[in-house]
Every structure is written in structure tokens, then in C-alpha cells.
Structure 1
Amino acid sequence: MNTLSYKTISANKETVKKEWVVVDATDQVLGRLGSKVAKLLRGKYKPNFTPHVDCGDNVIIINADKVKLTGKKWTERVYLRYTGYPGGQREMTPARLMSRPNGADKLVRKVVKGMLPKNRLADQLLGHLYIYAGSEHKHEAQQPKVIDINLYK
């Protein structure tokens, strides 16, 4: 008789406990910040992580305009997109993207989106990401807790 019986617990929409967290992006390297935020959005730091369920937290990033890029990545990294027309390949550097309106939001969102899976769940997870260039946000009613992103792997 087997006395040790373990059951794999799979989270679903009703059993997931979502929290609100605030991440300060001041002097954080953009790629490392993006990968940790993507893990928070997916819920990979939680013990009941289930790959096909939205079990992550709602993440608020403040001071997104103060992120860092190492080396010459501000001017030499190139993000490509395609308009759909012949000859429609466009390129953008992070420096040009940051100089545009809502540039910090677009840059951080682009980095985090690239680190999420390429499926319908990723679109749903990106809806739980809120990015602000300054130190103020409008989600005080949710009582978010401030976390230090450097404590996560």
C-alpha cells in the first residue's frame, strides 16, 4: 500500500490569487528588468504556477524613463518592424523610441512582450502591465505592495 500519494495541483481562474505589485525601474538594466517583470506577469515565482493559466500578478512599473542600457545599445540596437507594403521595413533605435511621446512605455512594453510566450495568453498578460514614466501612478485603490526587483532571480 502506497502511503505517499501526491497530487499535482493545477491552478485555474477561480483558485488564483492575483496581487498588485509596484516595481521601481530607476537605474535598472532594461533587459534584466523585462525578464523579471515577464516572470511576475506569468506567475513563475508562485508555487502554484500553471503554464496555461493566467496566475501572475498585476505589475505597475514606475520611473520607466530612468532605465539603463549598457554599452552603445541606446544608439546601435535596432528594432525592426514591417508595414506590410513593399519596401516597408522600418527601423527604430531605443534612443529614438524614448524621445517620442510615451516612449518609455513603448520601449519597456516591447521588451516585456518579447519575453512572454507568443500566444493568446501573452496578450492577456500584457493587459496586466501598467507602465508610468514618472513616480506617480493611479492604482492606489488596489493597495499595491512595493517590491525590490533585485531580490528576484
Structure 2
Amino acid sequence: MKRTSTYFPKPGQVEQKWRLIDATGQSLGRLARDVAVALQGKDRPTYTPHVLTGDHVVVVNMDKVRITGDKLLQKTYYRHSGYVGNLKSFILRDVLESHPDRVLQLAVKGMLPRNKLGREMLKRLKVYAGDSHPHEAQIGQLSEQREGN
């Protein structure tokens, strides 16, 4: 009986693709889930947990994302400087008005592994509030995903 071994791609063997995702009308959590899966490469047959097999993801129109329920006023983000008494809190509505890209980055960051590989995956995420982005050079390799749920 011949034994077959499982194929694990090496770091240089994985083809890097670019994905463009339009956030218009999409729910924040479901969009973050789709982005996290694409960054990890879990939607590919060559997924390997210890190798960076995911794609680069460009998300546009983040200012038009859909927030469901009462999260606009109830969801709170915290930041602490490390000094006593310097805990800052921000509600989702204020963060969306000032920096809509950070909302998705924080949501995706919580879904990625907490190690060096997860930090490298997060560097491959590019989020823009408007419709334009500076990654037109990759447009030849950019696979468009216009999902308007």
C-alpha cells in the first residue's frame, strides 16, 4: 500500500492575489468575517496554518457600511496608555464619523490569530472610507468582489 503525504506549501510557493471588496450596505460583522477568512486563506485549498497563504484585501466605501441594532450608541471601544487614569472610551458612532477604517480593522484584528502571522495578515488589509484607493497598480491582479447585501 502506497502512502501519500499531505501537501504543505512553503512560504515562497503561495501565489499572492488582491481582492477588492465593496462595503456598501454590508453588515459590519459579516464583512469582517469575510475579510478575516480571505486574509487567512481559509477559503483556498492550499490553506496552511503556519504559512501566510491569504490574499491582500482592499475594502472601499467603509463609510457606507451597515450597523444593525443599537450598536451605534452602545458599542464602546477602549484605549489605555498604560498610565493610571488614562483609560479612554469611544462609542461606535464617533469612531465611524472620524475614522471609519479603524472600525473594520479592529473587528478583523479580533478574528485573526494573536501571533506574528496574525500581525502580518493584518498588514495586508487596506481599508478606505471612500470609493477611491491608491492600489490601481494591482488592478491587473485585483479580483473584484462587489457584494451588495
Determine if the TM-score, normalized by the shorter chain, exceeds 0.5: yes
Q: TM-score, normalised by structure 1?
A: 0.90
- Give the superposition deviation at 1:81: 2.1
Partner of 2:28: 30
User: What are structure 1's unaligned runs of at least 5 residues?
Assistant: none
Residue 140 of structure 1 pairs with residue 136 of structure 2: yes
Q: Give the secondary-structure state (helix, strand or coil) at the position aligned to 1:79.
A: strand
Q: Which amino acid aligns with 2:12?
A: E
Q: Which amino acid aligns with 1:131?
A: V
Partner of 2:92: 94
Q: Is the 8 A contact 1:41 1:56 kept in 2?
A: yes
Q: Could you tell me how far apart the structure 2 residues matched to 1:113 and 1:120 are? A: 12
Q: Is the 8 A contact 1:57 1:128 kept in 2?
A: yes
Q: Is the 8 A contact 2:57 2:125 kept in 1?
A: yes
User: What are structure 2's unaligned runs of at least 5 residues?
Assistant: none
Q: Is the 8 A contact 1:61 1:132 kept in 2?
A: yes
Q: 1:85 aligns with which of 56, 69, 83?
A: 83
- Give the superposition deviation at 1:94: 1.0
Q: Could you tell me how far apart the structure 2 residues matched to 1:7 and 1:126 are? A: 31
Partner of 2:126: 130
Q: Is the 8 A contact 1:65 1:104 kept in 2?
A: yes
Q: Is the 8 A contact 1:36 1:149 kept in 2?
A: no
Q: Is the 8 A contact 1:80 1:92 kept in 2?
A: yes
Q: TM-score, normalised by structure 2?
A: 0.92
- Give the superposition deviation at 1:62: 0.5
Q: Could you tell me how far apart the structure 2 residues matched to 1:150 and 1:7 are? A: 41
Equivalent pairs, count: 147
Partner of 2:68: 70
Q: Give the secondary-structure state (helix, strand or coil) at the position aligned to 1:36.
A: helix
Q: Which amino acid aligns with 2:137?
A: A
Partner of 2:57: 59
Root-mean-square deviation over aligned CA pairs = 1.6
Alignment CA distance shift 1:90-1:70 (3 Å): same
Q: Could you tell me how far apart the structure 2 residues matched to 1:140 and 1:99 are? A: 26
Q: 2:45 aligns with which of 44, 47, 50?
A: 47
